[in-house]
Amino acid sequence: MDERFNRWLLPPLLALLFLLIVYQYVSPACPGAACPRRPPASAARRGGGPEEPEEEEEAAAMPRLAAKFPFARGELCRRVRFDMRGRDVIVFLHIQKTGGTTFGRHLVRNIHLEQPCYCRAGQKKCACHRPGGDKDTWLFSRFSTGWSCGLHADWTELTSCVPAAMERRGCAGNRTLRNFYYITMLRDPVSRYLSEWKHVQRGATWKTSLHMCDGRSPTPDELPTCYEGDDWSGVSLQEFMDCSYNLASNRQVRMLADLSLVGCYNLTFMNESERNMILLQSAKNNLKNMAFFGLTEFQRKTQYLFERTFNLKFISPFTQFNVTRASNVDIGEDVRQRIEELNFLDMQLYEYAKDLFLQRFQYSKQEEHQKNRLKRREERRLLREQRAHQWPREEAAEVAVTEDYNSQVARW
């Protein structure tokens, strides 16, 4: 009776065990996230074997990123076939106090180019012409074309202005052939806000900015100023925070969003909560779809991703400055919290941007690691084939020498 029962019970148990094993191998490794086609570093370590210990160390040194936002593979893999000899143009959207001045100088003075930008001593602008004697420029930025679309023009201004501005530079016939690749820099919102306050305190105003949207600048009622007189020199941090229409608040979101979606600077166009939601989502989409963006807090990673994106190399490495005017400002936790509240949209944008930035960096590093691994594997295969072809010839030569020696001995 027991033997008959065991014979009936054993097949279902074996079938269940087989299904569990199969499910373990076919179930998705990262549900809800973007899995790269190439194996991650951990998989490379498992399959690398003992012959590649240096790869194990390199992969082990790269911590696994705890991603907050799911991005598709195409959103992580940024490769631009930038044709400097053709009609491609890099457009730099320069947001105030994000390290854009330093990055802008890198673009005109620190890139290995077939025809370097020509920078005259004592002048801010450089002539960045294409190779081959073409007077057309491949770079639209403060240090190449100047503020051609207005002082610190935002996304709304640049996207409607740049094509016409390039035409005015004498290349009207090539407008339809141009590819515009937008890039920008972002910064931690609290640090950026404090840096702007210190800059305004020293006399900066940016009052000549056009703020063009839907073909016009805002009226004084739509965009009032926070001060009377020529500038806001000597303003205290409390006064700076108390101005409800201070453009320093949520500047990064506003400069990256399509302002025409919310009626530009007309705050009566829709309610505030709806306006904020649309601005934030528009800024995220525009940032994600840009060819490249960097973060002030990650200079070396910014350099690496730019070089990978555009297949260009910088001459000197970027420097990370940890001591800035903003870092020297001693604020309490209550003031920091107030600044975060004033920049609540920028805080959300920066969290999104930082996660996307680090995921792109990790994806690029893993892709590079896998490419190098396959390259070394191919080199070892070719070396083995070369040795395999050499060994028969060496054996034949040894046989010939032995036979010649034996024949000489026989003659003696």
As annotated, the active-site residues are 152
Asked whether 155 and 253 are in contact (CB, 8 A), the reply is: no
Q: On the CB side of 201, how many CA atoms lie within 13 Å of its CA?
A: 17
Cα 243–chain centre separation: 33
Output the CA torsion 264→266→267→270 (10° steps).
-80
CA distances from 123 to 13, 144, 146 (A): 81, 11, 11
Q: Where are the beta strands (DSSP E) in 187-335?
A: 292-295
DSSP 218: P
- Distances in Å between the Cα of 53 and the Cα atoms of 48, 328, 371, 375, 381 are 8, 44, 16, 16, 18
Specify whether the CB–CB gap between 130 and 137 falls below 8 A. yes
Closest residue by Cα to residue 140 from 312, 131, 132, 149: 149
